Amino acid sequence: MPTDDDKGTCLRLAGRATGSVDDVSLRPDLDNIQHDGEFKYFGPYSDNIVSYYCRDGRCGRNSYVFKVWLSVTKNPSAPVSERGDVTLTCFLNTYNSGWIEWQYTLNQETSTNLTEPTFTESSNSLTLEGLLRDQAGWYRCAGRAYWSSGDWNPDSFSFWTAVIVYYGPEIIDKERSWIGANDNYTATLECIIQGNPLPNVTWYSPNDTIITNNTIPDRISLEDNITGDGFFEYHVISHLIISPVENITDYGMYRCRATSNTGTFDEHEILLKETGKPERPNGLRLDYLSTDSIVFQWESGYDGGEKLERYYVNKREIPEEFDPHAWRPSMIPDMSDYFPNLKADTLYQIAVYATNKHGSGPYATLTVRTKPTSPYYMGIEVIYIQPQGKFVITGIPEDDDAGTCLRLEVYDEAQGEWVSLRPDLDCIQHDVDFLYSDPFPTVHFHCLYCRDEVCGYSSHVTIVTITTPRPTIPIATGDAKNDNVVIVAVGVSVGFILLIIAIFAMCYCKCFNCAKTSHHDEFMRNGPQTNPTVEVYTPSYDAPPSYVQAVEMDVNAGKNDDEPPPAYDCVSSHTSQQAINENEEQV
């Protein structure tokens, strides 16, 4: 109920007799309920109770009060030791039969269904065998008196029943085996314990005597920080503080011992000595991974009692060794770094170590494989022939590695994400073709190459939408594909060279013809043109003989006097042009 100081608001309970339409008060003390609570009622209206929320005597609509007809018992009733058994029984108090399911919760707000609805007569039991600590929580049964089919919606619930699991104390920081503190400095020894019920912690000195706050009050003290509760578990951080340290009396092996009412214990030894080199970093882990880069993080290990100066990182490609000259510094306090320009689908080991004034500590390592490259760059081709509903996959590497395969996915527009095309298509290891009936209204497919469930970048699937038959074109793979590429490239290159030669030849011929143009041709093209309406008289004349012809004529002159050699008039160009002009004037 709402918690406030308003005396005018309250909850009112009323009952209704069978066949009546009027509600009557259950009891005077139930007409004005202002706080959460429990009470008993055995009146005549127990089968038909309603509730009203009222302010200043005016009430709203009523709500039906469901009758709890389920109850749960637990055996044993006390907390159960880990690996023990507990039995929960749900009883049907009002009805002789009904439908029952069991529910579990950690916070009584959200619950998980443990069983399917089961038809039950009288009672139903749930047995938890070999109980583990993470099964501690609240359990209840939910049910309906009548249910045939459809959505399960229970209308009655039992109260939550707590199941508590006890287990012995456990020291969870045993990796810390020593503490460094120089003379006159402070040393803090730590022990972290978890368990249920509450663990008790005891510290022992190097001479095996119990240490208390009264052992050396001015130098030695104990501090415990306790969190948690008795329902799930307790968490205890216990500190033994020595300040200042006296190396002659304080150095040695200390022991932390944790016990509890379970009758079990756990203990851990810690050596106190002078400061030293740092320990290896903790929690080296992968932060980002791609086909060619790795980003990683870590946490600081024990500093050896001195301030850390720097971290150094390195990598190697397995099975090669670390290059001793490749260690490079990483800045503090980032405690993260990366390596770029790596090979795809390759196994690497990265290493990190820390330094302080005493030197370098041991390095922590992490082995990781970069993601595979995309199927396209691997030469894998995936074609979907849409009219036939057929996939054709070629180019998958042939090897005996069961961890490598090709995965097909489709874009689910309803969910807005890429999902599995089909469970049997999540790991394709050989070239194949198959028919596919598309349950998704899309052809947005892509494929990924994966190794041990780690996949690289995706490649799109080629969609073929032809609707008329055509000759099958073999898909070139391997050397055949490379030969085709070479032939095409050579053909294109030769054609380009021939085109350049043809263009050059045309230009050369054009220039050569221009160079051979005579003065007469030039005059005829560019000189004054004759009037087509005037007849032009042009005297005819023979061309003079060549030197050889003249010699022959001279030789033949004496042989036949009847045929004298022809005579040629030598007329100058000036005289000829003047005659032409005179003729034009006569016309």
What does the pLDDT look like over 112-122, one tens digit per residue?
A: 999 999 999 88
Q: Supply the pLDDT for residue 561.
A: 45
In the three-class reduction of DSSP (H, G, I as helix; E, B as strand; rest coil), residue 539 is classed as coil
Question: What is the greatest pairwise CA distance in the chain?
Answer: 175
pLDDT of 322 higher than 50: yes
Q: Are 304 and 176 in contact (CB under 8 A)?
A: no
Select from 334, 333, 339 the least CA-distant residue to 351.
339
Q: How far from 204 is each of 173, 178, 209, 254, 258, CA to CA, in Å?
A: 17, 15, 5, 6, 11
Cβ neighbourhood burial of 366 (10 Å; 0-12, 13-18, 19+):
middle
Indicate the SS3 state at residue 484: helix
CA distance 89 to 546: 140
Q: How far apart are CA 421 and CA 564, in angstroms?
A: 110
Among 269-278, 288-297, 412-421, name the one with the lowest average pLDDT.
Answer: 412-421
Distance in angstroms (rounded) separating the CA atoms of residues 142 and 152: 11
Please report the pLDDT score of residue 566 as a whole number: 47
* Banded model confidence at residue 489, pLDDT cuts 50, 70, 90: low
Residue 66 half-sphere exposure toward CB, CA atoms < 13 A: 12
Which of the four pLDDT bands, split at 50, 70 and 90, describes residue 333?
confident
Main-chain dihedrals φ then ψ at residue 280, nearest 5 degrees: -65, 150
Which tokens is 213 given? 């706050």
pTM over 0.85: no
Angle among Cα 190, 194, 200 to the nearest 5 degrees reads 75
What pLDDT sits at residue 523?
42
Instruction: Report the distance separating Cα 407 and Cα 401, nearest Å.
Output: 15
CA distances to 10, 33, 37, 45 from 1, rounded to whole Å, are 9, 9, 10, 23
pLDDT band with cut points at 50, 70 and 90 for residue 564: very low
Can you tell me the distance from the alpha carbon of 170 to that of 429, in angstroms, rounded to the nearest whole number? 47
For 233-259, what is the mean pLDDT? 97
Report the alpha-carbon distance of residue 292 to residue 336 in Å, rounded.
17
Given a cut of 90, is residue 527 above it in pLDDT? Answer: no
pLDDT value of position 562: 45
Query: Cα torsion at 302, 305, 311, 312 (round to 10°)?
Result: -90
Average pLDDT score, the chain:
82
Ordered domains of the chain (ranges, CATH): 9-64 (no CATH), 70-163 (2.60.40.10), 168-273 (2.60.40.10), 282-369 (2.60.40.10), 381-464 (2.60.40)
Give dist(CA 138, CA 161) in Å, integer: 5
> Taking Cα atoms as reference points, which of 171, 351, 357, 177 lies closest to residue 269?
177
pLDDT at res. 549: 56
State the sign of the Cα–Cα–Cα–Cα dihedral 308, 310, 311, 314.
Answer: negative
Dist. CA 13–CA 48, nearest whole Å: 11
SS3 content of the chain, % helix, strand, coil (to 5): 15, 40, 50
pLDDT of amino acid 363: 96
Report the alpha-carbon distance of residue 204 to residue 84 in Å, rounded: 33
C-alpha to C-alpha distance for 58 and 71, rounded to whole angstroms: 35
Most confident of 284-293, 409-418, 549-558: 284-293
- CA–CA distance, 358 with 259 (Å, rounded to integer): 38
Q: Mean pLDDT throughout 212-231?
A: 94
Q: Taking Cα atoms as reference points, which of 483, 583, 475 lies closest to residue 539?
A: 583
Residue 492 pLDDT grade (very low, low, confident, very high; cuts 50, 70, 90):
low
In terms of Cα–Cα distance, which of 457, 459, 460, 427 is closest to 292?
Answer: 457
pLDDT exceeds cutoff 60 at 582: no
- When comparing pLDDT for 292 and 437, which is higher? 292
Digit-coded pLDDT (tens) for 545-563: 555 455 455 445 444 444 4
Distances (CA, A) of 11 to 59, 66, 274, 369: 9, 16, 70, 65
How many whole angstroms separate alpha carbon 325 and alpha carbon 312? 12
pLDDT category at 189 given cuts 50, 70, 90 is very high
pLDDT at 27 over 50: yes
Residue 458 — very low, low, confident or very high, per pLDDT cuts 50/70/90?
Answer: very high
Q: Is 161 helix (H, G, I), strand (E, B) or coil?
A: strand
Measured distance CA(525)–CA(514) in Å, rounded: 13
* Higher pLDDT among residues 41 and 344, named by residue: 344
Q: How confident is the model at residue 371 (pLDDT cuts 50, 70, 90)?
A: very high
Q: How confident is the model at residue 387 (pLDDT cuts 50, 70, 90)?
A: confident
Q: Which of 4-18, 73-87, 525-539 has the lowest mean pLDDT?
A: 525-539
